[in-house]
Amino acid sequence: MTPQDISQLLMVGVPDNNDLSHLRELSPGGVVLFGRNAGTPQQVRRLTRQINDAVTQNGAPLPLIAIDQEGGRVQRLTDGFTAIPPMRELAQSGAGAVRLMAANVAAELRAVGINVNFAPVCDVQTHKEDTVIGNRAFATDAITVSSLAAEYVRGAQPTVLCVAKHFPGHGSVGVDSHVALPTDSSTRKELGEPLLPFRATIGAGIGGVMIGHIALPNIDDSGAPASLSHEIVTNILRRQLNFDGLIFTDDLDMKALPQHAAGEVAVRALQAGSDQLLFCHDIQKAFVARDAIMQALENRVLDKPQIEASLARIAKVKAKFAA
């Protein structure tokens, strides 16, 4: 397995000056854009063409190009793009409005060369001290979130890959995983309700799920965050929920995870069962991760057939959305 093969497991950010030199060197499987990279539709389209050229110049396949274009306070592209209300607000207009907005957002993204949207939010906001999800969630009850998240997928995924987040649910904790590791004390029985929206989107055919950095000690007593937990990623998402699409980590730069051990974190995320590892802000961590993954394969710390299965899933998604 070559370094270029391993790079397919990585999704990386672009700095605010849109310097793409690291993409030429790394040839990652995916690239994620932020507001720092935004511009008019014409400028974004020019940037995505340049990204494709940079990633493929050494013979690598076209990348997945992703963004968080949820709406409300999480809308990366605004100049010349539809203003998307928060999902809680849009939900008041009903399922048809959600599906239509999802289709419109997907069409705008595809037109500028973006083929993955990190949406819909499947979290059910139930914690009174929650500050990170809030009105990003469709509702405060799992049934409504399930119905509307599924409608979102039906509207958007004919055009771009949708990614449900943040598995197994970030709405029942009061800590932001950008700054610390939240802990959810749910038991397996109690986890059933937060999982309903993810079940619904899987039933609607969603192609991607993002794993959150949330510890669930009553599910995995090791204390590992969901993103590094084989029990949560493989046993629950893959086996219990029968999800066969792409599994993305949330950003591995977030402070919920150890900040000094990019290689170790990357290997553990793959052992847990993820397919694509996000390094959104520090590109050097992606290079460290690639080297650590190569070493782990050589030392048989990582299972080669499992990595080959991840690469096959990535290739399948690219054949549909990155062509």
pLDDT of residue 132: 82
CB 252 within 8 A of CB 259: no
pLDDT digits (tens, 9 = 90+) for 37-62: 999 999 999 999 999 999 999 999 99
State the pTM of this model: 0.96
Domain 8-321 adopts which CATH fold? TIM Barrel (3.20.20)
Mean of the per-residue pLDDT values of the chain:
94
CB 252 within 8 A of CB 283: no
pLDDT of residue 172: 65
Residue 323 pLDDT exceeds 90: no
Checking DSSP bridges between strand 116-117 and strand 10-13, what pairing results, if any?
unpaired
Q: How large is the angle between the packed helices 188-203 and 142-156, nearest 10 degrees?
A: 30
DSSP 212: P
Enumerate residues 6+ apart whose C-beta is below 8 A from 116: 30, 64, 65, 66, 67, 160, 161, 163, 208, 321
Residue 127 is among the residues annotated as catalytic for this protein: no
pLDDT of residue 173: 67
CB 208 within 8 A of CB 163: yes
Give the active site residue among 220, 250, 251, 275: 250
Residue in 89, 87, 51 with CA at minimum distance from that of residue 69 = 87
Average the pLDDT over 139-164 and give the result.
97
Rounded CA gap, 228 and 232, in Å?
8
Q: What is the dihedral of CA 319, 316, 105, 118, to 10 degrees?
A: -140
Enumerate residues 6+ apart whose C-beta is below 8 A from 206: 153, 157, 162, 163, 164, 245
pLDDT of residue 182: 82
Rounded CA gap, 276 and 209, in Å?
10
Average the pLDDT over 25-42 and give the result.
97
Residue 222 pLDDT exceeds 70: yes
Residue in 105, 199, 211 with CA at minimum distance from that of residue 159 = 105
Which residue would you say has higher pLDDT here, 262 or 129?
Answer: 262
Residue 281 is among the residues annotated as catalytic for this protein: no
pLDDT digits (tens, 9 = 90+) for 176-186: 556 567 888 89
Give the rounded percent of residues in the chain with a pLDDT score beyond 90. Answer: 87
Q: What are the start-end ranges of the H helices in the chain?
A: 3-7, 21-26, 41-56, 87-91, 95-111, 142-156, 188-203, 230, 262-272, 283-298, 304-321
Residue 156 pLDDT exceeds 80: yes
Per-residue pLDDT band for 190 (boundaries 50, 70, 90) equals very high
pLDDT of residue 126: 83
Which residue would you say has higher pLDDT here, 292 or 133?
Answer: 292
Kindly list the domain boundaries of the chain, sorted by start residue. Answer: 8-321
Give the active site residue among 53, 178, 244, 303: 178
